[in-house]
Structure 1
């Protein structure tokens, strides 16, 4: 399989991408990472980009993500918000886990907010949904379906005792 070649192919699996925990708030429109490819104090930023940037891109499809290499003496993250403000996060000499945890604490949605959004997404009122907790309790209430046999008897050609027991 060609997608499993290269350095750390686990990053290309759907299971790995869905496991990301960084989901930005709705205000974040652009996310940039500035780091150098050499230097000990840039090591955490390089590893953060290598391991967590694909997950961030997968979880935040409406956020523009840019990386700037070899343009700064110290590594930092910058988040541009929808009202024109920007948030600057210094990641100098931090490990990838420290950067991940700090970014999640400062710019991401909380776990409670993510859970509320997930339940709201599942509860979408679909006219095809029926049963307990939905608008319609039985499929016969949906237009175009066969009515309940308790209210309107089924035609004889739709009943098994007339179809299979022919004499």
Structure 2
């Protein structure tokens, strides 16, 4: 039986990084505001655990994105499919990622993809040319996490 999973990415600003990756991948930022309202009303969540981002209440230090075609829970906003969760951590990024995302362009659209990602806040690091195997760019998101654009 296949298992459900999500990729969790440490960050210093979960909401901003979720916004970047949602725009980069064409995903949707999850909206937990209905769940947060229920938890606040019931006294199960303190006001200090909540922040407002782009006009919505969200959990302080957490933000998630999901594929727009995948199912999600209407009450919590939590995706039940392809999903990335960003969580704030106190320590800074200190080395090379051991896991990274590859973002794929359509045939012949690599330059357009790289330019769009740069407009969103990504940075080019180096181009990799594997001859017949293809070429791609190693890039960094706004917090310095490496990923490849191919």
Please tell me whether Structure 1 or Structure 2 has the larger radius of gyration of its CA atoms: 1
Same fold (TM over 0.5): no
TM-score after normalising by structure 1 = 0.24
More helix by share: 1
Identify which of structures 1 and 2 has the higher relative contact order when contacts are C-alpha pairs closer than 8 Å and 6+ apart: 2
TM-score after normalising by structure 2 = 0.25
